[in-house]
Chains A and B, each alone.
Chain A
């Protein structure tokens, strides 16, 4: 294992965090969760963000994915300064640039696999035919073509997570964020999902930021970075 001073390899950065901070207030008491986060992630990276529970991993991922706003510093992700976007612009930006993979899959229970994957496309103005083609393509990629019209309750956890991955890539975003994507899966299904994510990175060139506290999962990423009490560890582990 090779320890470098914060070198995630060369290339054009897709995520640039400059002195990012996030605090919560309990009445007048400021509770800092993230402090002085400087981070540049090159396009095409596959980063595992590690750290103990409560260290701020999810908070940091939320900031990168534009579903939360920092209390200090600035973020530039996928070519946009997120601080400058209003809520609607940020929503459109997420739809276009970010794919979400959640620990609990977060599929809509009343929609079948096809409809779940189609959801983000409804916002793009793509026609019915184009939507169908893209949903089928995404479901084929995760190897669930035969489960297209199944509802989430009819799928196993691993299958649900693969549907969620199909939903995350259906709009062809540059960036995938995943918060403990294998946290709810058994070892076999976890391997399958992690293998799929590796392929998305290697074959489709997706930049992936994955939060995990599982070292086995982290090993699938190309780099591991560590968060400790809201501060980024200056060392980077390179897996491959």
Chain B
């Protein structure tokens, strides 16, 4: 805490001084901008390198954001998944029919006019050909009609929901672009049957947007499953969860594990962690390289202007004025790259992408959106690069001996 303050305070003070210097110090910014332009080739190539890094930074940021929306927004605190002990994920879990019969009418499950608010579900993974010719695993979820209502973020966009016993499926609207033949009225081939697509749905960015949904019994028949994967239940309140979990775990006929839905998805989100770690690592390495490039360019600029700087000092400009001037020159160099890079990232705006969820091996699709906030972060990031990359060269510039002005050559 104290240590953090010791680092942050000088940086903030330095920044404040720089902003003040911009207004109060006599060396006009135009001098720096023109000097950058004077060395177009090196300035522009450095700016381009920084643009690339900032572009990647913004895209990684948006991917990470997209991933956490895909999982975290999927859960409710008053809902729980019942799984086989230690299964962790629906895909690894199985619950036999007799256990499910007992479980589905557990007295602690919330009831409404239509009965118990629970959905027995099965999850299978099926290889689907994608639009680009490659195959990817897609989660196919069999659920009860009740299960749709237990997911309030899910919304029908087109057509209608599936009916039991008729081999009907609904598909996420977002999947339609990535997989061919997912239009309304067409058929999907899986489990040895043709399934009619009767509707498309939207789940507000949640991971359901990478699942094909159908009736639980149809799926179990077609895929020859003897057991369910899990049961999704709603409780009276989040506080009832502990009691329900205890009851289900201790019931000798059940011996099942209860996981709060929010916790379940949080766990699932960790599947995205390797991507985030990789993304951060790549960003970190590229950032280091970009800062180095900026530093190099600025060192070269300072070295090439030794006499000029000495002359400015002879004319009466002070060390701190030279420092601020060159620091701003570096910031503007990087800022140019930052603006370019953020603009570049904008091109990728809304492009659909998929990532294989490491634990469930199924394709999770999400859109990454470049928001103005993310772009601002990218620009701020380039500012930091300009600050870091420019400090040492600017410092060196401010320390150039005045006698350099007099040297011949």
- Chain A contact residues, CB within 8 Å of chain B: 58, 61-62, 65, 67-68, 87-88, 91-92, 94-96, 100, 102-104, 106, 108-111, 119-120, 122-123, 167, 179-180, 183
Contacts and interface: CB of A to CB of B under 8 A. Distances in A.
B101 interface: no
Interface string B287-319: 000000000000000000001100111111111
B308 A120 contact: no
A109 B35 CA distance: 9
Given A67-B403, A100-B405, A110-B38, A94 B316 contact: yes
A90 B37 CA distance: 33
Contacts of B38: 109-110
Interface stretch (B26-34, B261-269, B338-346): B26-34
B34 A94 contact: no
Interface residues of B, number: 26
Nearest to A105: B311
A102 B312 contact: no
Contact of B402 (A61, A68, A109, A180): A68
A81 to B, nearest CB: 18
A91 B311 contact: no
Contacts of B307: 104, 106
Given A110-B31, A110-B35, A91 B313 contact: yes
A88 B320 CA distance: 10
Interface string B386-409: 000000000000000111011011
A122 B406 contact: no
Given A67-B313, A68-B401, A106-B308, 5 more contacts: A87-B318, A91-B313, A106-B405, A108-B312, A120-B315
A76 to B, nearest CB: 19
Interface string B28-65: 10010011011000000000000000000000000000
A180 B311 CA distance: 16
Given A104-B408, A110-B34, A180-B408, A95 B316 contact: yes
Contact of A106 (B27, B311, B319, B403): B311
A178 B408 CA distance: 13
B26 A122 contact: yes
A61 B35 CA distance: 30
A111 B318 contact: no
Nearest to A103: B408
Contacts of A122: 26-28
A164 B314 CA distance: 13
Interface in B216-264: none
Interface of B: 26-28, 31, 34-35, 37-38, 307-308, 311-319, 401-403, 405-406, 408-409
Contacts of A100: 311, 314-315, 405
A91 B316 contact: yes
A179 B406 contact: yes
What 6 A-B pairs are tightest by C-beta distance, nearest first? A95-B316, A122-B26, A110-B34, A67-B402, A106-B311, A120-B315
A123 B317 contact: yes
Given A109-B38, A179-B406, A65 B31 contact: no
Nearest to A59: B403
A21 to B, nearest CB: 16
Contacts, number: 73
Given A94-B314, A108-B311, A102 B406 contact: yes
Contacts of A106: 307-308, 311, 405
Nearest to A180: B408
Q: Interface centre among A65, A91, A92, by most B CB within 10 Å?
A: A91
Nearest to B38: A110
B326 to A, nearest CB: 14
Contacts of B308: 106, 108-109
B316 A92 contact: yes
Q: Interface centre among B401, B403, B406, by most A CB within 10 Å?
A: B406
Nearest to A167: B315
Q: Interface centre among A88, A103, A104, by most B CB within 10 Å?
A: A104
A121 B292 CA distance: 36
Contacts of B402: 62, 67-68
Nearest to A97: B316
Contact of A102 (B26, B311, B313): B311
Nearest to B32: A110
B89 to A, nearest CB: 63
A173 to B, nearest CB: 10
5 contacts: A94-B315, A102-B405, A119-B315, A120-B315, A122-B28
A100 B402 CA distance: 12
A120 B317 CA distance: 8
A68 B314 CA distance: 10
Contacts of B318: 87-88, 91
Given A58-B406, A100-B405, A87 B319 contact: yes
Contacts of A58: 403, 406
Contacts of A62: 402-403, 406
A179 B403 CA distance: 12
Contacts of A104: 307, 408-409
B290 to A, nearest CB: 25
Contacts of B315: 94-95, 100, 119-120, 123, 167
A91 B27 CA distance: 15
Contacts of A91: 313, 316-318
A67 B405 contact: yes
